[in-house]
Protein backbone atom coordinates (compact mmCIF):
# COMPACT_ATOMS: atom_id res chain seq x y z
CA UNK A 1 0.00 0.00 0.00
CA UNK A 2 1.38 3.41 -0.94
CA UNK A 3 0.45 6.97 -0.08
CA UNK A 4 1.05 10.30 -1.87
CA UNK A 5 2.73 12.35 0.86
CA UNK A 6 3.41 16.06 0.49
CA UNK A 7 5.36 16.40 3.70
CA UNK A 8 5.85 15.02 7.18
CA UNK A 9 6.41 17.61 9.88
CA UNK A 10 8.09 16.26 12.98
CA UNK A 11 7.41 17.82 16.37
CA UNK A 12 4.76 20.34 15.33
CA UNK A 13 2.46 21.92 17.90
CA UNK A 14 -0.08 23.60 15.58
CA UNK A 15 -2.04 20.59 14.28
CA UNK A 16 -3.45 19.26 17.54
CA UNK A 17 -2.54 19.09 21.22
CA UNK A 18 1.06 18.54 22.26
CA UNK A 19 3.99 17.67 20.05
CA UNK A 20 2.83 15.75 17.01
CA UNK A 21 3.97 14.20 13.78
CA UNK A 22 1.84 15.79 11.03
CA UNK A 23 1.48 13.92 7.75
CA UNK A 24 0.20 15.93 4.78
CA UNK A 25 -1.37 13.94 1.95
CA UNK A 26 -1.76 15.06 -1.66
CA UNK A 27 -5.14 15.74 -3.18
CA UNK A 28 -8.18 17.84 -2.42
CA UNK A 29 -11.26 18.79 -4.43
CA UNK A 30 -12.80 21.16 -1.89
CA UNK A 31 -10.80 24.08 -3.36
CA UNK A 32 -11.65 26.34 -0.43
CA UNK A 33 -11.12 30.03 -1.27
CA UNK A 34 -8.29 31.31 0.92
CA UNK A 35 -6.86 27.82 1.52
CA UNK A 36 -3.46 28.10 3.21
CA UNK A 37 -2.06 25.29 1.06
CA UNK A 38 -3.54 25.24 -2.49
CA UNK A 39 -0.47 23.29 -3.65
CA UNK A 40 -1.93 20.35 -1.73
CA UNK A 41 -4.89 20.08 -4.12
CA UNK A 42 -2.85 18.20 -6.76
CA UNK A 43 -3.36 14.45 -6.32
CA UNK A 44 -0.01 13.79 -8.05
CA UNK A 45 2.05 16.13 -5.88
CA UNK A 46 4.56 14.95 -3.31
CA UNK A 47 6.17 11.55 -3.21
CA UNK A 48 4.97 7.99 -2.86
CA UNK A 49 5.64 6.39 0.50
CA UNK A 50 4.77 2.95 1.78
CA UNK A 51 2.86 2.28 4.95
CA UNK A 52 6.04 0.92 6.52
CA UNK A 53 8.07 4.03 5.57
CA UNK A 54 5.47 6.27 7.22
CA UNK A 55 5.22 4.04 10.29
CA UNK A 56 9.01 4.06 10.65
CA UNK A 57 8.88 7.86 11.04
CA UNK A 58 5.92 7.65 13.43
CA UNK A 59 7.76 5.15 15.62
CA UNK A 60 11.01 7.14 15.45
CA UNK A 61 9.33 10.41 16.47
CA UNK A 62 7.10 8.75 19.09
CA UNK A 63 4.52 11.60 19.04
CA UNK A 64 0.78 11.51 18.49
CA UNK A 65 -0.11 11.97 14.82
CA UNK A 66 -2.17 14.37 12.73
CA UNK A 67 -3.34 13.42 9.23
CA UNK A 68 -3.93 16.42 6.99
CA UNK A 69 -3.45 17.52 3.43
CA UNK A 70 -5.02 18.13 0.97
CA UNK A 71 -7.76 16.02 2.41
CA UNK A 72 -6.88 12.53 3.66
CA UNK A 73 -10.50 11.38 3.28
CA UNK A 74 -10.13 11.31 -0.49
CA UNK A 75 -8.25 8.07 0.28
CA UNK A 76 -10.38 6.55 3.07
CA UNK A 77 -9.30 2.92 2.70
CA UNK A 78 -5.60 3.77 2.85
CA UNK A 79 -6.09 6.27 5.67
CA UNK A 80 -8.09 3.73 7.68
CA UNK A 81 -5.22 1.25 7.48
CA UNK A 82 -2.62 3.88 8.39
CA UNK A 83 -4.70 5.18 11.31
CA UNK A 84 -5.22 1.60 12.52
CA UNK A 85 -1.45 1.03 12.53
CA UNK A 86 -0.77 4.35 14.26
CA UNK A 87 -3.37 3.62 16.92
CA UNK A 88 -1.97 0.08 17.39
CA UNK A 89 1.45 1.66 18.01
CA UNK A 90 -0.02 3.53 20.99
CA UNK A 91 -0.50 6.99 19.47
CA UNK A 92 -3.56 9.21 19.23
CA UNK A 93 -4.68 10.22 15.74
CA UNK A 94 -6.30 13.48 14.64
CA UNK A 95 -7.56 14.02 11.09
CA UNK A 96 -8.31 17.28 9.26
CA UNK A 97 -10.92 17.15 6.51
CA UNK A 98 -13.08 19.50 4.47
CA UNK A 99 -15.98 17.05 4.81
CA UNK A 100 -18.38 17.58 7.70
CA UNK A 101 -18.97 14.88 10.28
CA UNK A 102 -22.51 14.56 8.92
CA UNK A 103 -21.16 13.81 5.41
CA UNK A 104 -18.65 11.36 6.85
CA UNK A 105 -21.26 9.51 8.93
CA UNK A 106 -23.60 9.29 5.93
CA UNK A 107 -20.94 7.56 3.81
CA UNK A 108 -19.82 4.01 4.49
CA UNK A 109 -16.59 4.72 2.58
CA UNK A 110 -15.70 8.08 4.21
CA UNK A 111 -16.38 6.67 7.67
CA UNK A 112 -13.89 3.78 7.32
CA UNK A 113 -11.15 5.55 9.35
CA UNK A 114 -13.48 6.59 12.20
CA UNK A 115 -12.79 3.63 14.53
CA UNK A 116 -9.08 4.54 14.53
CA UNK A 117 -9.37 8.31 15.07
CA UNK A 118 -9.39 10.24 18.32
CA UNK A 119 -10.57 13.50 16.77
CA UNK A 120 -11.60 15.04 13.47
CA UNK A 121 -11.38 18.71 12.61
CA UNK A 122 -14.24 18.89 10.12
CA UNK A 123 -15.63 21.22 7.52
CA UNK A 124 -14.24 23.35 4.74
CA UNK A 125 -12.16 26.42 5.47
CA UNK A 126 -14.41 29.46 5.01
CA UNK A 127 -12.47 32.65 4.44
CA UNK A 128 -15.35 34.84 5.68
CA UNK A 129 -15.27 32.93 9.00
CA UNK A 130 -11.48 32.94 9.37
CA UNK A 131 -10.46 33.42 12.98
CA UNK A 132 -6.74 33.40 13.87
CA UNK A 133 -7.61 33.07 17.57
CA UNK A 134 -9.23 29.65 17.16
CA UNK A 135 -7.16 26.77 18.42
CA UNK A 136 -6.36 24.11 15.79
CA UNK A 137 -8.86 25.50 13.27
CA UNK A 138 -8.84 28.13 10.57
CA UNK A 139 -12.49 29.20 10.49
CA UNK A 140 -15.30 29.19 13.03
CA UNK A 141 -17.48 26.74 11.08
CA UNK A 142 -14.90 24.01 11.65
CA UNK A 143 -15.42 21.76 14.65
CA UNK A 144 -13.15 19.48 16.63
CA UNK A 145 -15.11 16.24 16.94
CA UNK A 146 -14.29 13.69 19.64
CA UNK A 147 -14.46 10.42 17.68
CA UNK A 148 -14.08 8.30 20.81
CA UNK A 149 -17.53 9.41 21.99
CA UNK A 150 -19.30 8.37 18.79
CA UNK A 151 -22.03 5.88 19.49
CA UNK A 152 -25.18 5.29 17.53
CA UNK A 153 -24.29 7.96 14.98
CA UNK A 154 -23.83 10.77 17.50
CA UNK A 155 -20.81 12.99 17.90
CA UNK A 156 -19.46 15.35 20.49
CA UNK A 157 -17.96 18.63 19.33
CA UNK A 158 -14.93 19.54 21.40
CA UNK A 159 -15.19 23.10 20.14
Please report the domains of the chain, with CATH numbers, ordered by start residue: 2-157 (3.20.20.70)
First to last CA, the chain: 34
Looking at residue 35, what is its pLDDT? 84
Using only C-alpha atoms, what is the Rg of the chain? 14
pLDDT surpasses 70 at 151: no
Looking at residue 156, what is its pLDDT? 52
Q: Which H/E stretch holds residue 145?
A: strand 143-146
> Could you give phi then psi for residue 72, rounded to 5 degrees?
-60, -25
CB burial of residue 54 (10 Å; 0-12, 13-18, 19+): buried
pLDDT in tens, 97-140: 999 999 999 999 999 999 999 999 999 998 999 999 999 998 99
Amino acid sequence: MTYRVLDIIRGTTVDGPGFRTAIYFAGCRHACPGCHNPGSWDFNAGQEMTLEEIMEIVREEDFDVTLSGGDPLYHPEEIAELARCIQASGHKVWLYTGFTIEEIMASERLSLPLPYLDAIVDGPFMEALRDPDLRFRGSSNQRIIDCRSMTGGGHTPLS
